[in-house]
Structure 1
Amino acid sequence: MYLFGPPLLLLLGALCAGTRGAQEGSPHSYRYFYTGVSEPGAGLPDFMAVGYFDEQPILHYDSKRRRAEPRAEWVKGAVDPDFWDRNTQNLQGSQAQFQVNLATLRQRYNQSQTGSHTLQLMYGCELRPDGSTGGFRQHGYDGRDFINYDANTRTWVAPVPQAEITTRKWNADTADLQYYRSYLEGECIEWLRKYLAYGAESLRAREPQVLVSDRPTPDGLTRLSCRAHGFYPRDIAVVWLRNGVAMSGETQSWGIVPSGDGTYQTRATIEIDPSSDARYQCCVEHESLAQDLRVAWEPKSNVLLIVGAVLGALVVLAAVAAGIGLYIRRRGTGYKPTSTGDRASENSSNENVKA
């Protein structure tokens, strides 16, 4: 089992079935991720810690800068002035402890003292849609679970034999067990609610902007692309419809990535026969939308035909208007061709005046 679970995928279940029903409140989370590396690459830190509220980074620390720093402007108002100094000291201590623990784990796994290995820690809490809460604390080594805190039994459990020594030691420390229980069930939830209040505007749901496009493929098909961007929170469902029916199995999703401004973007594509007369729509479901959003794809030939017809009509109207105007001028004042000589004389006279 991987420490942080399998990668998140787009949700393509019962998608785009019509108007969305009433939803419960959105879930929220407050999490920290620590990573220590025994032999980092050139220029890379051997320790890094990042704090998140929901999907927004709020704190960053690494062994190069050795300073806890805010990653969101609104979070500065949610903490006292000494918050960053306290966390800097704590994280400097964690940085040193991670290197000690990495050396210990290499011995537990009978590994040589050379080579790169990774120790990870994830902890935090969540507020679920039904109002219930939960806490978690997990340690991983080289990408897999090492030891986890069981919130139900309030004890440490060892998924692998190499963690049994640590499990016995930590479960014997009743003071530490009480501390983790108090933090995960109390203090962490208090921080979560505090950040939720201060970050309300930054965490406001934002509707996705959707753009569909097409391009030919080397094998004679047409690839339809649906890009959704500018949305928050992260979870979204995007699928192509053919004649109103979801093409979940044929839709290729390209993952959800940050846009750099606190919002997210994603893309979904399908390949179709360009000679097909089926109707294709990109369908999007997101928390910010009262109902699913559908954007139709129009073949270029149809679009060009419509645009050409509109432009042709405008040209005809312009020509008729010009003809009528010319006829009126001829009838009212008589037609007089422009004299090149008069224009030259006038320009010459004007230039003399300016001089």
Structure 2
Amino acid sequence: MDSLGKFLTLLVALLRLPSAIYSESYSLNYYITMVSSPLPGLPLYSVIGYVDDVFFGKYTSDSRRARPALQWMAERVEPEHWQMLAQLGQYYENVHKIFMMQFRNLHNQTKGISVLQVKFACHKHEDGGIGGYLEFAFNGKEFVVFDKDNLIYIPGTHEAQVITEKWNNREFQGQRNKNLIEIECIGWMDKYVLHGKHYLLRKVPPQVKVTEKASGGVTKLLCHVYGFYPRDVDVKWMRNGADEVYSDEAKQILPNTDGTYQIRASVEVTPREGDSYSCNVDHSSLEKELIVPWEPTISTHRGIALAVGASLVLLCVLIVVFGVLAYRRFHDSRI
């Protein structure tokens, strides 16, 4: 078997890390990264595995071991399986070193740090359809993409044409890659479903904490939603129970170490007397939308009262001034 064939075989073998799913539609994804020189806190080589958005395993050049990220995988999958994956990871790492040198040579890059990335995935839809992809990137730019329907590699840059011509001339290479995506990878996913269904079919309701921070007459409301599973969630701020409050701050769902997720949603408002605000959370674990009202602190109440008081004082001053001016005009008109 040629080096590319070994590489792709190892790539799918690494995809055989145990995993789980929580819906009829799911995907198995691997993100592979290699750097040409050491960087602080970053291994020279790493393979990170996900089922949908759930991180479930990795291999790195630092440990040279394949390790499960979830407790149930460590308990249910035999140690020999992880040992085998570690051996494949070590070989896979050596193959990518060759790829790194080839890609650097094509770009005449003899100095500096280069980054090689590979994305491999297979997925199954609710209707039973299957798909997947294999992509290579170099220094942050798409380099080569495998078209599994036409069984060819497509160059993403001028330099990549040299590589794709070589790979496309290898007999049966395209069909082998298609089988790896649509048969082997999918087969392993189905197997992992049996192990992980208990984990990824669970429903964990979110916890919600609402806080505030006032500055310069503007109040920033923060809604921290945490500890929920599965990942999909809708969080929004509402005014008076009817109007959604717009915010230009992006809401990003982040993973927790225990396998749950968290998200923060914040808005800046200028509270007025009579206004109410609430953080509304919609999640599959809830029977109905969770509404958590914002309860202004004493200082915020004082600020609103001062603002209202200042407005009343200003209004009174305007009335007095208007009255004085009106009186003078009336008096002057009689003279």
Q: TM-score, normalised by structure 1?
A: 0.72
Q: Which moved more, 1:151-160 or 1:220-229?
A: 151-160
Matches within 5 A, 1:163-312: 163-203=160-200, 204-217=202-215, 219-245=216-242, 247=244, 249-250=246-247, 252-301=249-298
Count of residue pairs brought into register by the alignment: 280
Q: Aligned AA for 1:118?
A: V
The counterpart of 2:123, out of the listed 122, 126, 130, is 126
Q: For residues 1-355 of structure 1, what are the structure 2 equivalents within 5 Å?
A: 25=23, 27-42=25-40, 44-76=42-74, 79-111=77-109, 113-203=110-200, 204-217=202-215, 219-245=216-242, 247=244, 249-250=246-247, 252-301=249-298
Shift of 1:31: 1.4
Identity %: 34
Q: Is the Cα contact below 8 Å between 2:148 and 2:177 reproduced in 1?
A: no
Q: Alpha-carbon deviation of 1:290? A: 4.1
Cα distance in 1 for residues equivalent to 2:190 and 2:208: 32
Letter in 2 for 1:144: K
Contact 1:147 1:167 in 2 (8 A): yes
Q: Is the 8 A contact 2:205 2:286 kept in 1?
A: yes
Query: In the TM superposition, what is the alpha-carbon distance from 1:251 to its structure 2 partner?
Result: 5.5
In the TM superposition, residue 132 of structure 1 has moved relative to its aligned partner by: 2.5
**Structure 1's 170 and 287: CA in aligned 2 closer, same or farther, altered over 3 A?**
farther
| Cα separation, 2, equivalents of 1:141 and 1:303 | 52
Amino acid of the structure 1 residue aligned with 2:64: R
1:245 positional shift: 4.0
Rg larger for = 1
Conserved 8 A contact 1:25-1:130: no
- Please report how far the alpha carbon of residue 224 of structure 1 lies from its aligned counterpart in structure 2 after TM superposition: 0.8
Q: Aligned pair in 2 of structure 1 residues 172, 265: CA closer, same or farther (>3 Å)?
A: same
Pair 1:288–1:171, CA change in 2 (3 A): farther
How far residue 77 of structure 1 moved from its aligned partner, in angstroms, is 5.5
Q: Secondary structure at the match of 1:255?
A: coil
> Does the C-alpha gap of structure 1 residues 80 and 153 become closer, same or farther in structure 2, counting only changes over 3 Å?
farther
Note closer, same or farther for the CA distance 1:92–1:176 as it changes in structure 2 (3 Å cut): same
Does structure 2 conserve the Cα–Cα contact (< 8 Å) formed by 1:61 and 1:68? Answer: yes
Sort the Cα spacing of 1:194 and 1:76 in 2 relative to 1 into closer, same or farther, 3 A: farther
Letter in 1 for 2:85: N
- Displacement of 1:268 in angstroms is 0.4
Q: TM-score, normalised by structure 2?
A: 0.76
Superposed CA RMSD? 2.6
Stretches of structure 2 lacking an aligned partner (at least 5 in a row): 1-21, 303-335
Shift of 1:260: 1.0
